[in-house]
A = this chain, B = another copy of it.
């Protein structure tokens, strides 16, 4: 078994470097490089291609989802092991559908990372409880999973309405919003009422839920 090259993409320096140490200690790893976001990772790959990437999802500049898409499209031989903080089934399902080769939580054991790296190189896939669960449940309502989890534009609300909705979601009152936007309190009330009417919800709770479900928030 020849030695492999592993790249790590994560914005948290300490996590990244600690991870680097761990990975370097794996017996079959010959080289480790680090990137603090998706863009840096792509730059690294341009110069030299790794065998496996340990990919964080939440990163500035270019997040892990976008980076995964680009790497998979350009370099089909590179394996991607996603290391995520959250076990949202929607994310897991989306990433695995996208073609990621493994999905681990950041509180996994180092041994599991090593196991996952070996598995994706050998079998193109590392199956753990998380992924099995997510795929099983995800298959049931695929529609939801096909929506890209993060960015999605909500068609029915106007720009102004979206702006106000976001402020509502920051727990501001109507008065605070009207001050912030230099509008009459009445105007903000009307905007919100129109949103509630458009979206067919009963109260602010419904608005916040819409903001989440439409990807406006998060």
Contact = CB atoms under 8 A, between A and B. Distances in A.
A113 interface: yes
Contacts of A217: 209, 212
A143 B90 CA distance: 40
A202 B83 CA distance: 33
Contact of A83 (B14, B87, B106): B14
Interface residues of A, number: 40
Interface string A95-113: 0000000000011111001
Interface string A1-43: 0000000000111110111111001000000000000000000
A208 interface: yes
A100 to B, nearest CB: 17
Number of copies: 2
Indicate the member of A15, A20, A83, A202 with the most B CB atoms within 10 Å.
A15
A40 to B, nearest CB: 14
B171 A203 contact: yes
Nearest to A10: B107
Nearest to A13: B107
Given A13-B106, A168-B205, 19 more contacts: A11-B107, A13-B109, A13-B110, A14-B15, A14-B106, A14-B108, A14-B113, A15-B15, A17-B110, A18-B18, A18-B19, A88-B215, A169-B209, A171-B206, A171-B209, A203-B204, A205-B205, A208-B208, A209-B212
Interface of A: 11-15, 17-22, 25, 83, 85-88, 90, 106-110, 113, 168-169, 171, 173, 201-206, 208-209, 212, 215, 217-218
Closest 6 CB pairs of A and B: A18-B18, A21-B21, A13-B107, A171-B202, A12-B107, A208-B208
